Amino acid sequence: MKLTAAQHQQFDRDGYLFFPGIFSPEETRTLTTEVPGLYSRREDYNVREKGRDAVRTNFAAHLYSKPFAKLARHPRMVEPVQELLGEALYMHQFKINGKMGFEGDVWQWHQDYGTWRNDDLMPTERAMNVAIFLDDVSEFNGPLMFIPGSHKRGVVDAKHDLTTTSYPLWTIDNGLIGQLVDRAGGKNGGIVSPKGPAGSMILFHGCLVHASGSNLSPWNRVSVYLSLCAVSNHIRRFKRPEFIAHRDFTPIETLPDDCLLNDYPVELPWKKGLPASALETSTDELKFAA
């Protein structure tokens, strides 16, 4: 899938591109039906909401679930990011966020690259996110919110929030969010939230400031978030477990466009469980040959 010149301009200006319904209901169903089985596992890779059993985030399903392994190699997702970053990509992070009906908690305002830099020593912002909706997303079930154009500020000040929710995040304080929203147009477009059917996709810049509210509706808002990084920009520290920040920098090879609906061979290295090495962490900066 090639991006148009207008889409390149729009991405540069706003920091995101929205593709409503780019995956068909049939394709999306191959993923959705897998999720309850993955969420039911008592494994480190399932992070639950604070004080609750509902899954907030499932990590690294592309390494142990065939449908998600195929999604991780899908050309409709990989090719536009490769075009925007101009380089081969590897998977830095892969998560299925639950945001379950009545249970899904907030994601505070943050930039993903802030966390990738501070925790993982990713050298530059040459990495970005793809969100794929597995449920319809409406104003009721905690849609993602963006401050358009905020990626142009580069990395902004953030503090490490280890307490508010069950998942640590480098979050941005309210004063700065107020300023960024004002500069983006205040009540006229200073915050946007792409909404659409299951199967929609958003590409967004690693420095785009985003958040989402809690889900007080009865409707789940399961979404996949893939973080793709230019191979030369791979992380330099393994401070977070491997199921959160991946250590295999092999370039992604895409599958054919019909891969969700047909059988293609994919490797599932963690199918029999997480290897002990995936839990080992280090605060050392790693040296890689130039």
Residues in touch with ligand SIN (CB under 6 A): 97, 99, 107, 144, 210, 212, 223, 225
Q: Which is nearer to Mn ion, 112 or 135 (CB)?
A: 112
CB of 63 to ligand SIN, least distance (A): 19
CB of 152 to ligand SIN, least distance (A): 19
Q: Which is nearer to ligand SIN, 73 or 99 (CB)?
A: 99
Considering CB under 5 A, how many residues would be counted as binding Mn ion? 1
CB of 103 to ligand SIN, least distance (A): 13
**CA 203, CA 209: separation in Å to the nearest integer?**
13
Q: Which is nearer to Mn ion, 49 or 112 (CB)?
A: 112
CB of 21 to Mn ion, least distance (A): 23
CB of 2 to ligand SIN, least distance (A): 27
Q: Choose the contact partner of 205 out of ligand SIN, Mn ion, none; CB within 5 to 8 A by kind.
A: none
**CA 59, CA 97: separation in Å to the nearest integer?**
9
Q: Choose the contact partner of 144 out of ligand SIN, Mn ion, none; CB within 5 to 8 A by kind.
A: ligand SIN
Q: Which is nearer to ligand SIN, 22 or 100 (CB)?
A: 100
User: Of 112, 120, 125, 242, which lies in the binding site for Mn ion, with binding defined by CB under 5 A?
Assistant: 112
CB of 214 to Mn ion, least distance (A): 16
**CA 212, CA 227: separation in Å to the nearest integer?**
18
**CA 174, CA 109: separation in Å to the nearest integer?**
8
Nearest Cα to Cα of residue 232 among 127, 77, 101, 83: 127
Q: Which is nearer to ligand SIN, 45 or 255 (CB)?
A: 45
Are residues 238 and 116 in contact, defined by beta-carbon separation less than 8 angstroms? no
**CA 50, CA 126: separation in Å to the nearest integer?**
32
Grouping H, G, I as helix, E, B as strand and the rest as coil, residue 244 is coil
CB-based contacts of 27, cutoff 8 Å, min separation 6: 199, 260, 261
Which residues sit opposite 226 in a β-bridge? Answer: 94, 130
Q: Choose the contact partner of 212 out of Mn ion, ligand SIN, none; CB within 5 to 8 A by kind.
A: ligand SIN
- Residue list 174-203, contact with Mn ion (CB under 5 A): none
Instruction: Examine residue 49 and tell whether it contacts Mn ion (CB under 5 A).
Output: no
CB of 112 to Mn ion, least distance (A): 4
**CA 288, CA 33: separation in Å to the nearest integer?**
40
Q: Which is nearer to Mn ion, 70 or 151 (CB)?
A: 151
* Ranges assigned E (strand) in the chain: 16-19, 46-48, 55-59, 89-97, 107-110, 127-133, 144-146, 159-161, 169-171, 201-205, 210-212, 223-230
Residues near Mn ion (CB under 5 A): 112
